[in-house]
Amino acid sequence: MTAVRTPELEEMTALIAEAQRRHLPVPPELEREIYLREMSRRGLNPWETFRDYVEYINPTLFKFEHINTLVDTAEKVVDTNEIDRLIVLLAPRYFKTEVFGRLLCSYHMRKYPGKLVGLSSYSASKAWEVSENAREYFEQSGGILRPSAAAKKFWGPPEGGELWAVGTAEGVIGRGMHLGICDDPVDPEMVRSSVYQRKFQRWWPSKWLQRQEPGAKLILVMQRLGTDDPVDFLFRREIGENTELAPEYWHVLVMDEIKSDEPLGRWRGEQGLPPTCTLIKDNRKRGEILAKSRFNAQEVEKLQRTAGPLECATQRQQRPMRPTGDFWRKNWFTIYDALPAGAYNGGRDWDTAYTKEEANSASAFVRSFRGVGDGDNFPIYIEECGWDWHEFPALVKWMAELGGPHYVEEKASGKSVIQTLGVYNIVA
């Protein structure tokens, strides 16, 4: 490849020459820019570290307190090779895609122009958008695209490397990766769907992992989305909990919006992680917010309050399971030896699950009574609870044997149960 001096480089070189002729000082920034562009022109990578690259492309990021930790961690993947499996858990709007999607992808292509990068997200359009931004950074930093690989879904330099971008529902046959970055693999709107849970659980081992080149490195970047989200699946694979045993020995960076020392999971490793995982240290003190230059304490308080307790614990604090019971507190309940006098309106409240999409879910009930109260404030007594994995005919038979009345959640399976019970003159 012939190195060509661009008009911009020629102009800057001429400015320096003129300044030197007049014995004027040359601004260090201009000398640095000349150096970077000349190195790029010769097909060389002028940045020794990822930090150098970020400081050149998007230096304003470093005004946010948490960015140093993100950049330092990324360097351990692509520069020092200390980490080959990384999970980053971070609340929305804290630049995780900017750092690990746009900047890290483009830096890797500049540093290793002959290697392959795979980028995935919950939709192809999202992955292509991030890929396009990374391509712009690549060119901004002096990178050159080969004409046959310049599209937003597939691009690379003349040395033969490439970045390809796909949605997590897509096939990736024929593509390889030395670095695989999975950024928000599941749409938050779909994460509670068992159908989408199983799609990811099939896609990850059968398609994504099969694209690895020797020595490949993997990064998963997201916020926690629920108790059955992709992170839970990967953690369960570490110990073979209700899935195959396939440990990857993840390094895990958890940047909760307000620093907490509460458990991150239910396992016996560090802070509740699986024992095969390594928790990356976060040096903040307990109660310290993540990045006051991004969202100050008052803004964080408002964000967490408006998110509600469930989404706050899950997406902002990265703890979808709260062992301390923030939602149902023990002191809300009183234990009785017998059903109190005056309890009335007894019945069984059901959450039914029997469809193909809910094959792994149980149908469950509680037998509850209303107590005497004052207006809208009254106690509810729970006398009995039960659950089973009955399919539809057996489920209706079970409900009939238990006796009614039955109160069934109004969804597709619930409506069918109500209609069928009515045939047998059972109140529901």
1 assigned to some structural domain = no
Confidence at 361, pLDDT banded by 50, 70, 90? low
Q: What is the pLDDT of residue 2?
A: 41
The structure tokens 């396939």 sit at 246
Q: What is the pLDDT of residue 357?
A: 46
375 assigned to some structural domain = yes
Quote the number of domains for the chain. 3
Do 262 and 384 fall into the same domain?
Answer: no
Q: What is the mean pLDDT of residues 332-344?
A: 86
Q: Flag whether pLDDT at 236 surpasses 50.
A: yes
Do 56 and 26 fall into the same domain?
Answer: no
Which range among 51-65, 289-303, 387-401 shows the weakest confidence by mean pLDDT?
387-401
Distance CA 237, CA 249 (A): 10
Do 66 and 22 fall into the same domain?
Answer: no
184 assigned to some structural domain = yes
Mean pLDDT, the chain, as a whole number? 88
308 assigned to some structural domain = yes
Burial 380-418 (b: 16+ CB within 10 A, else e): ebeeeeeeeebeeeebbeebeeeeeebbbeeeebbebbb
107 assigned to some structural domain = yes
Do 120 and 30 fall into the same domain?
Answer: no
Last residue within a domain, chosen from 316, 343, 360: 316
Supply the range of the domain harboring residue 34: 7-40
Do 236 and 119 fall into the same domain?
Answer: yes
Q: What is the pLDDT of residue 419?
A: 72
Do 387 and 295 fall into the same domain?
Answer: no
Do 35 and 52 fall into the same domain?
Answer: no
2 assigned to some structural domain = no
Confidence at 373, pLDDT banded by 50, 70, 90? confident
Q: What is the mean pLDDT of residues 12-19?
A: 74
Whole-angstrom Cα Rg for the chain:
28
Do 284 and 398 fall into the same domain?
Answer: no
Q: What is the mean pLDDT of residues 393-401?
A: 81
